[in-house]
Copies of this chain bind each other. A is one copy, B any other.
Amino acid sequence: MPDSVTPPDAYPVSERNKVRRLHERGRYDKESVHAILDAAMVCHIAYVIDGQPYCTPTAFWREGEHLYWHGSSASRMLRSQKGGVPVCLTVTHLDSLVLARCGFNHSVDYRSAMCFGTARVVDDPAAKSRALDAMIDRFYPGRNAELRPSTAQELKATTVIGMEIEQASGKIRSKGVADEEEDYALPIYATRFPVTQVIGAAEPCPRMPEGVPFPEGLAGFTPGRRLDELMLESYRTTYGKE
């Protein structure tokens, strides 16, 4: 558990979330951690069943200090978490490949966040329905109001899981090539290749009736747009800047 006084805008630091390796890259302030989370659609969640770790990718979203994700009620991960189980939810954005002058200094620029908490099923039907609506709008602003409403059967077939962020840490590397001082003079090609995740042009469903307009809420979904910027923009449109 936290072993020191924590400012209200930061996560408590303990053995669990302390960034050990290259600790100058560590971030514990909520603003930095939230910015990494809110720029993502997909996370990876670690959980344990009978001593065996599992790592499952899933879409997720944040509301304040809570994180939510969902899935079929049949999925192993969600069934195992009904009682409330410890999880670690991690988001990673790969920002560049870093090719240095020796193997040891090869690296990548990245932003990652690890969040620790206890995952629990959102059982209350109203809370569950509201959460699923929020999930759609968080990714695609205003979209939920345009959709065919969910049926009771669809709601029943979906499990929503939530957790409060008990502790978290962010880790950021953004310095590109960094070599040993004596290596810079060597005749070795060293470079950074930026990496981005982008969307392409919409591929509309061919079975739409004629004349269905492109939704206003998707105005930002233009070809070549960075997914991290788009997700952060969608988040702030739906939840406000905080």
With A21-B72, A74-B21, A194-B203: A154-B53 Cβ-Cβ less than 8 Å: no
Q: Is the CB of B154 within 8 A of A102?
A: yes
Question: Which residues of B are found within 8 Å of A212, using beta-carbon distances?
Answer: 187-189
Q: Mark A79-94, 1 if CB is under 8 A from B, else 0.
A: 0000000111110101
Question: Which residues of B are found within 8 Å of A116, using beta-carbon distances?
Answer: 52
Q: Is the CB of B197 within 8 A of A195?
A: yes
Give bound CA distance, A143 to B157, whole Å.
Answer: 51
- In the assembled complex, how far is the CB of residue A21 from the closest CB belonging to chain B, in whole angstroms? 4
Give bound CA distance, A196 to B75, whole Å.
Answer: 27
Question: Which residues of B are found within 8 Å of A194, using beta-carbon distances?
Answer: 199-201, 203
Among residues of B, the one whose C-beta sits closest to the C-beta of A75 is: B21
Q: Select which of B110, B197, B209 is within 8 A of A187 by beta carbon.
A: B209
Interface centre among A46, A132, A202 (most CB of B within 10 A): A46
Q: Is the CB of A185 within 8 A of B209?
A: yes
- In the assembled complex, how far is the CB of residue A131 from the closest CB belonging to chain B, in whole angstroms? 11
Q: Which of A15-44 contact B (CB under 8 A)?
A: 16, 20-22, 41-42, 44
Q: Is the CB of A132 within 8 A of B154?
A: no
Q: Mark A47-78, 1 if CB is under 8 A from B, else 0.
A: 11001111111010000000000011011100
